[in-house]
Amino acid sequence: MIEIDSLNKNYGKVAAIKGLNLTIEEDRVFGLIGTNGAGKSTLLRMLSGILKADTGTILIDGQPVYDNPAAKSNLCFIADDPYFFPNANPMTMAKYYQTIYPKFEMDRFKTLLADFGLDPKRRISEFSKGMKRQLAILLGLCANTKYLLLDEVFDGLDPVMRQSMKSLFAEDMDRRQLTTIIASHNLRELEDICDHIGFLHSGGLLLSEDLADMKLEIQKLQCVFKNDDDLAEVMEKLHVVDHTTRGRLHTFVVRGERSEVEAVFDHVPMTFFEVLPLTLEEIFIAEAEAVGYDTRKLILK
Amino acid sequence: MTPENSSLSKLSQIEITKRRKLPIAIMLVVLAITYVFIPILFFLNDPDEAVSVKNYLAYFTNENAVISFVIGLIGVYFAASTFHYLHVPRQVDFYESQPITRKSRFNSLVLNNLVSFVVPYVIFVFLGLVITATTGVNLIANGQVWGSTLAYVVVFTAFYAITSLAMLVTGNTAIAMLGTIFFVTLEWIIMLVVNSFYSEFTFTGGSTAHTWTAFTNPWSQCFSSGSQPSYRGIAVNLLITLVYLLLAYYAYQHRKNELAGTAIIYEWIKRAVKVVVVLLASTIGAVMVYSMTNNSVIGGVLGAIIVGFLMAFILEIIFKFDIIAWKNHFAESAILVVLGIGVFLGLRYGGHQYDTWVPSEDQLASVALATSEGSYSNYYLGNKETDAESYAKVYMKLSASSQLLALAKKSAENTIVERNDYDSYHSGSEMLSFIYRLKNGKTRVRSYYVKRSDLKTYFEGVSQTAAFKKGFFPIYHDAAIQNNLDSVTFSYRNGEQTIQRQNGQLYQEFKQAYLTDLKQWDYNLASTKKPIGQVDVSWQQNGKKRKVSYPVYASYTKTVSFLKKNKLYSSKALSVNKQNPIEFYLNQDY
């Protein structure tokens, strides 16, 4: 488990992390989302022991992480712009990782390289950006550490590759209780991978919740009223987070369990009514507004 | 930490070496050229030189400035390539997230670098010596060569340590190179400013360079003793290595990784560097322009303003990597330039105070006088040849008489007048150095232009004292001759002919006669009479030929009798054009 308590980090006069408290449980994929400059990369680098906290503590399984090999040996960090040795090929890097991370799974790495179509003897400098990121993720996975920290490495991966990675994470979570922490500013790229979301804004934690729990408490629905005068009554009974209209079609994002929401519409004559799946973005907006943030002012993709 | 985890904190030397193939390869090529190819070419192209022990010794020892320079550069390159990763954010992410402590990484890298250099270096030196041995010059067991090899290894470590510190307090490798230059040359630049005080602001500071062997410059230490390895230099460089490595280690421990890519990691270092550089730059600018504008104070102030502000702006631009940043901390820049002007004016005022200062009789323990062109003889102190001033410093102890201080005061005033008035510069006066030994144990030296009329008035009495003669004529301190009487050669020359005897026993008799005659020597005699000849006493000391000379005047009856008795006296007349009178003593109208 990763425990962060009253964490602060300043870059000169700029506060990158402000009084952050967060607990990341084991055996899950934790999505760390936020706008550019929210402090995601800073937090991930502090979790990796690269940056030292100004104040506050980070404990990895009860041990402080900064300059502590005992704690750091349980984690592997893959940066958004991963570094490879000049003229290295995937096998060169794997051998180096093997010396740093003694539990490195070389056989699995070779298998995965073949599965992903990456030539083990080809110079990495000749790889595309996406291929480099795939390689970095595979190296990180095969390092066989308890925690894998990925900083925006999924940005730019195609959906098929993301899905492949997701299945790899699922396999490792099942097999060895891997905990993955993925930072991204792109909600859509995370929603099919993460099962827990932490949202950072201006160095502080806006929310941290299981995605499934969020989905249970937020509903998205579309309807066409037979009598438009019913709208006011419905709006009054619902906890509406977002409401848009297109012609006579109303789209609501509302807070509440599905049964409660459907009950509101039971006695209202409808031409059309449907409960729709929620996107992570919609959930985020709902949750963020619940804690008092006007998310429309935030730049989100 | 569990045993499993503790093993993780150690970085494999093999793995480090794998990552350092390029620097090591470059070093091997350089060493191969230096110690294999050049000796071979040397032998093939010039077999005569190849057999010369002297040439080979010069090549393999401290006299070879090129090797010293190259080895210093290898030290710089090794350190720069080792710690470059800390200047590249994505490499910082890669390395610093690994389960290795900073202490362990630092120690492993430093150890790897030192071993990577020292082992191949010693092997290549040995190879070079084997190659030279094939030419018939076997230096394999030569202590001077291996002493120099040790000195070079220490020069490498010193440069490695200095550059490591520069790399670890900066976030950019180019800036770190400037930092290395800063560390290596700072003492030289301070020395330049100190020297400029004596050369530009004082008239009585003398021509002696006020320098020392720069402690913080490994090359200075390496070259401080010519071809012989300097064990003092080795010790100093080892100390530098230790101090800089400790500072580098401390800097690494406290280094903030988020500052990779910036100019300097520690804010206080920026301020300290700016203070030192701008102060020195404005002072040097002032001195340069002051000198170029014929000692114009306004010129000096302008020089300080221009050079000081320019350097302050350049530093601020470098600190931020932003040309707009030139105006940052402008007030600080202005204050430093004003301080630089203050230093310049202080130097000028200090120069005036320096020139006019003459100690009081109460302050003085004793005085020694020396003339740069007023000596009859060579001088020796121990095994080393020296000059009249150094000799007088040791052996001349004149009491602080009012006559002597009056001469000093008159001469100080005359020096300032003469040096300020270029038309009368050095006319009718001679240079005389006063070595003041103060009661507080300190020694102060002033070189004055003394008017001949003042010499006549004030020096006459001084020259008659035994204390003056004991520090002027080496015959009073002749232990070296007495210890080597077997090798003494005695000669008399009067300009026409030289008569020579190799007989040490003659010396004792000569000494007795000459000491008796010397009682009559004084300024009056030296300025109105010319010697009729000169006795030279030569001897061998530690394989080197030594010689002291004594003037013989017509009135030196005891000496002349001695010379005649021993058939050393030449009766031929001394022609004026073959005389070599000493300008200091002779009256102009003689």
| Residue among B12, B90, B98 minimizing CB distance to A72 | B98
Residues of A within 8 A of B17 (CB-CB) are none
Give the pLDDT of residue B207. 65
Check if A45 contacts B (Cβ < 8 Å). Answer: yes
CB A44 within 8 A of CB A194: no
β-bridge partners, A75: A147
All residues of chain A having their beta carbon less than 8 Å from the beta carbon of residue B96 are 49-50
User: Concatenated DSSP letters for B317-380?
Assistant: HHHHT-GGGGGTTHHHHHHHHHHHHHHHHHHHHHHHHHHH----TTTEEEEEEE-TT--SS-EE
pLDDT at B483: 87
Q: Which among A11, A96, A99 is the nearest to B258, CB-wise?
A: A11
What confidence tier does B27 reach under pLDDT thresholds 50, 70, 90?
A: very high
Contact check, Cβ <8 Å, A79/B96 = no
Chains A–B, number of C-beta pairs less than 8 Å apart: 70
Smallest CA–CA distance, residue A145 to chain B, in Å, is: 11
**CA of B346 to nearest chain A CA: how many angstroms apart?**
39
Give a yes or no: residue A272 inside a domain.
yes
Q: Tokens 């806006």 appear where?
A: A206
Q: Is the pLDDT of residue B582 over 80?
A: no
Same domain for A223 and A139: no
Nearest CA in chain B to A63: B1
Q: What pLDDT is stored for residue B4 in this prediction?
A: 40
Is residue B140's pLDDT more than 60?
A: yes
Measured on CA atoms in the order B307, B311, B317, B321, is the torsion positive or negative?
positive
Nearest one of B443, B444, B471, B472 to B585, comparing CA atoms: B472
Which uninterrupted H or E stretch holds B130?
Answer: helix B102-133
**Residue A281 resides in a domain:** yes
* Domain shared by A178 and A258, yes or no: no
**Which residue of chain B is at minimal alpha-carbon distance from A81?**
B90
Last residue of a domain, one of A148, A171, A202: A202
Confidence of residue B504 (pLDDT cuts 50, 70, 90): confident
Listed ranges A295-299, B195-199, B226-230; the one with the highest mean pLDDT: B195-199
Statement: residue A235 has pLDDT above 80: yes
The partner residue sitting opposite B93, judged by closest CB among A71, A79, A96, is A79
Round to whole Å and give the CA distance between B117 and B17: 12
Q: How many H-runs (helices) and E-runs (strands) does chain B carry?
A: 25, 9
Mutate to test the interface with B, among A48, A67, A135 (most CBs of B within 10 A): A67
pLDDT at B271: 95
Q: Which of A262-276, B99-113, B160-174, B294-308 has the lowest mean pLDDT?
A: A262-276
Based on the fold, state whether residues A87 and A114 are members of the same structural domain: yes
Do A96 and A242 lie in one domain? The reply is: no
From chain B, the residues in CB contact with A125 under 8 A are none
Residues in chain B: 590
| Helices and strands of chain A, counted as H and E runs | 11, 14
- The beta-carbon neighbor of A69 closest among B19, B91, B99 is B99
Nearest chain B residue to A16 by CA distance is: B258
Mutate which: A58, A83, A139, vs B, most B CBs within 10 A: A83
C-alpha distance from A98 to closest chain B C-alpha (Å): 11
* pLDDT at residue A300 greater than cutoff 60: no
Give the pLDDT of residue B374. 67
Tell me whether residues B99 and A100 touch, CB distance under 8 A. yes
Whether residues A34 and A176 share a domain: the answer is yes
Question: Helix or strand or coil: residue A207?
Answer: strand
Closest CA to A182 of A162, A164, A202, A201: A162
Selected residue with higher pLDDT from B186 and A258: B186
| pLDDT of B49 | 57
Closest CA to A69 of B96, B133, B537, B110: B96
Q: Does A294 reach chain B within 8 Å, measured CB to CB? A: no
A101 contact residues in B (CB cutoff 8 A): 99
Determine, yes or no, domain membership for A284: yes
- Reply yes or no on whether the pLDDT at B493 is more than 50: yes
Q: What Rg, from alpha-carbon coordinates, does chain B have?
A: 31
Interface test with A, best of B10, B12, B22, B97 (most A CBs within 10 A): B97
Question: Above 80 in pLDDT, residue A173?
Answer: yes
pLDDT band at B6 (very low <50, low <70, confident <90, very high): very low
> What mean pLDDT comes out for the span B66-74?
90
Asked whether the predicted pLDDT for residue B423 surpasses 50, the reply is: yes
Which of A113-127, B443-457, B569-583 has the least mean pLDDT?
B569-583
Given A152, A168, A202, the domain boundary residue is: A202
When pLDDT is averaged across residues B503-526 and rounded to a whole number, the result is 88
Q: How far is B123 from chain A (nearest CA, A)?
A: 30
Average pLDDT for B469-496: 85
* pLDDT tens string B302-358: 999 999 999 999 999 999 999 999 999 999 999 999 999 999 999 999 999 999 999
Res B52: pLDDT = 65
Domain match, A137 and A222 both: no
A198 and A219 in a common domain: no
Is the per-residue pLDDT at B269 higher than 90? yes
Taking any CB pair shorter than 8 Å as contact, residues of chain B touching chain A are 1-2, 4-9, 12, 15, 19, 88, 90-94, 96-102, 104, 256-258
**Closest residue of chain A to B10, computed from CA coordinates:** A100
Question: Which CATH number do you get for residue A235?
Answer: 3.30.70.1150
Q: What is the pLDDT of residue A194?
A: 85
Rounded Cα distance between A165 and A135, Å, is: 11
In this structure, the answer to whether residues A67 and A170 fall within a common structural domain is: yes
- Dmax (CA) of chain B: 100
* Higher pLDDT, residue A177 or B91: B91
Q: What is the ipTM of this complex?
A: 0.87
Say whether pLDDT at A2 is over 80: yes
Residue A207 located in a structural domain: no
One domain for residues A135 and A223: no
In a domain, A209, yes or no: no
- Contact between B1 and A76 using a beta-carbon 8 Å cutoff: no
Is residue A206 a contact partner of residue A197, using CB atoms and an 8 Å limit?
A: no
Q: Do A102 and B7 touch (CB under 8 A)?
A: yes
C-alpha dihedral over B491, B492, B497, B503, to 10 degrees? Answer: -30
Q: Comparing A294-298, B207-211, B225-229, B325-329, which segment has the lowest mean pLDDT?
A: A294-298
Tell whether A155 is covered by a domain.
yes
Contact B177, B189 (CB under 8 A): no
Residue A163: CATH number of its domain: 3.40.50.300
Identify whether the C-beta of residue B558 lies closer than 8 Å to the C-beta of residue B521.
no
Question: Average of pLDDT values for B386-406?
Answer: 90
* pLDDT over 50 (residue B392): yes
Q: Which of A45, A73, A85 sits opposite B93 (nearest CB)?
A: A45
pLDDT at B2 over 60: no
Of all residues in chain A, the one with the smallest CA distance to B92 is A50
Q: Is the pLDDT of residue B3 over 70?
A: no
Q: What value does the mean pLDDT take over residues A65-94?
A: 93
Mean residue pLDDT across chain B? 86
Return the DSSP state at A123: -
pLDDT (average), residues B369-375: 77
Q: What is the extent of the structural domain holding A279?
A: 214-297
The mean-pLDDT minimum among A276-290, B200-214, B384-398 falls in: A276-290
Does a structural domain hold residue A57? yes
Instruction: Give per-residue pLDDT as tens, B517-536.
Output: 999 998 888 888 778 888 88
Residues B61 and B48: their CA atoms lie apart, in Å, by: 20
Model confidence pLDDT, tens digit, residues B232-243: 888 888 998 999
Report pLDDT for A301.
40
Name the residue with higher pLDDT: B422 or B317.
B317
Of all residues in chain B, what percent carry a pLDDT higher than 90? 50
Task: For residue A115, give Cα distances in angstroms to A138, A164, B492, B546.
Answer: 11, 10, 103, 88
- How many Å from the N-terminal Cα to the C-terminal Cα in chain B? 93
Do residues A27 and A167 share a domain? yes
A152 lies in the same domain as A41 = yes
CA A101 to chain centre: 25
Closest CA to B162 of B264, B72, B92: B72
Q: What is the DSSP string of B152-203?
A: HHHHHHHHHHHHHHHHHHBSSHHHHHHHHHHHHHHHHHHHHHHHHIIIII-S
Domain end call among A158, A182, A202 = A202
Let me know the angle formed at the C-alpha of A94 by A90 and A98, rounded to the nearest 5 degrees.
Answer: 175
Q: Does A63 touch chain B (CB under 8 A)?
A: no
Mean local confidence (pLDDT), B419-431: 68
User: Which residues of chain B lie closer than 8 angstroms to A81, CB-CB?
Assistant: 90
Verify that A122 and A195 share a domain, yes or no: yes
- pLDDT(B5) > 50: no
Residue-by-residue DSSP string for A269-298: -EEEEEEEPPPHHHHHHHHHHHTT--GGGS
If one counts the domains in chain A, the total is 2
3-state SS of B389-415?
Answer: HHHHHHHCCECCCHHHHHHHHHHHHHH
Q: How high is the pLDDT of residue B527?
A: 80
In a domain, A150, yes or no: yes
List the alpha helices (DSSP H) in B401-556: 402-420, 452-454, 460-463, 466-470, 479-482, 505-518, 523-528
Band the pLDDT of B574: cuts 50, 70, 90. Answer: low
